[in-house]
Amino acid sequence: MFKKILFATDFSPHAEVAKQIAKCLAEMDGAELWAMTVLEPVEEPLGLADEPPDIPAWKWEKKVARMQDRLKAEKRRKLDQDVADLRAEGLTVHDVVREGDPDKQILAVAREIGADVIVMGSHSRRNLWDVVVGNIAQRVAEKAPCPVVLVSHRPPHPGIDAPKHYLLATDFSPHAQLAEKIAIALAKQRGEDKKLWVITTIEPGEEIPMPPGFVVNAPDDEVVELESELRQDVEDEVTRRLNAIIADARAQGVTVEKLVRHGDAAKEVLKAAIDIEADMIVIGSHSRKSLKEKLLGGVPEKVAKQAPCPVLIISHLPGQNSNITKEKHL
């Protein structure tokens, strides 16, 4: 599925989970893996003060330079350790260190190596939902030349250890289709004792879509019968699509079950995650809008904000415009 994987890390707990996801994806097809980090300029808060520090300018600059050198050395050490860990798993790993704006450098490296996917954490000690507007994760996902897998979890989170229960939330959209492939690959990679659940939801009003103010001039019993038929049509279509995903997963040796829930999509996904004791949730951006627009109050953001386990959010698909027709049911 992916031949060139770019793992971008800031060594946060989110990035630690992202590293394990990148490892799983690389192991699947013997892909090459690039592990990169970005050295950002040291902030100088004293530069904003009314009074300069009571030391000569050259001495202050020397202190800042030493601080920058220490940070570079620390990041270099952590990246070397990540690369060593990944190579110890038999992976082909290249290390990349850049300086500058993280989002710009990540995008530049992705283009240079022809990355098939970027895997990254929320790149902050804060939460994904707190920093997504105008921040690194959002900017990378919005402009990337390839799919982006964002890893989020309510901090603190030390990382994952051999997940067993995966929950794939799908609305059958193009975004969800990539999420399906990744979820099946992860469940397959993790061994026979692992299991995948596939969930979709039918929200109120989706069964019988009517324009506002629409009035049906028919006897009540006929309206009830029509409503029942329409609901059954939706249920049948959802079941058909879920069965196709289930068949694909089983053909690859994955133990899988389907779930159809009625109600608010985010709430139903979260309840299902608790019910099955999910170790990881995989979800597409589920919208014709951009990741930035949808994460604000959208299903993935709500799930990521409250989930009891790590959440993989699959970004927009490159080469597809923003007018992709959204399939319903999540």
Q: Where are the domains of the chain?
A: 1-156, 162-330
Angle at 284 between CA 323 and CA 255, to 5 degrees: 140
Contact by Cβ (8 Å): 134, 6: no
State how far the alpha carbon of 310 is from the alpha carbons of 14, 33, 138, in Å.
Answer: 8, 22, 18
Residue % of the chain over a pLDDT of 70: 72
User: Which pLDDT band holds residue 320 (cuts at 50, 70, 90)?
Assistant: very low
Domain spanning 1-156: CATH superfamily: HUPs (3.40.50.620)
Tell me 126's DSSP state: S
CATH of the domain spanning 162-330: 3.40.50.620
40-46 contacts: CB < 8 A, separation 24 or more?
A: 40/99, 40/100, 40/101, 40/102, 41/68, 41/99, 42/67, 42/68, 42/71
DSSP classification of residue 154: P
Are domains 1-156 and 162-330 of this chain identical in fold? yes
Most confident range (mean pLDDT) of 26-35, 145-154, 179-188, 239-248 is 239-248
Asked if 165 and 279 count as a contact pair (C-beta separation under 8 A), the reply is: yes
DSSP bridge partners of 149 = 119, 314
Can you tell me the distance from the alpha carbon of 175 to that of 150, in angstroms, rounded to the nearest whole number?
13
| pTM attached to this predicted model | 0.70
pLDDT, residue 288, reads: 42
20-63 pLDDT, tens digit each: 889 988 887 789 999 999 987 765 554 545 555 566 777 777 77
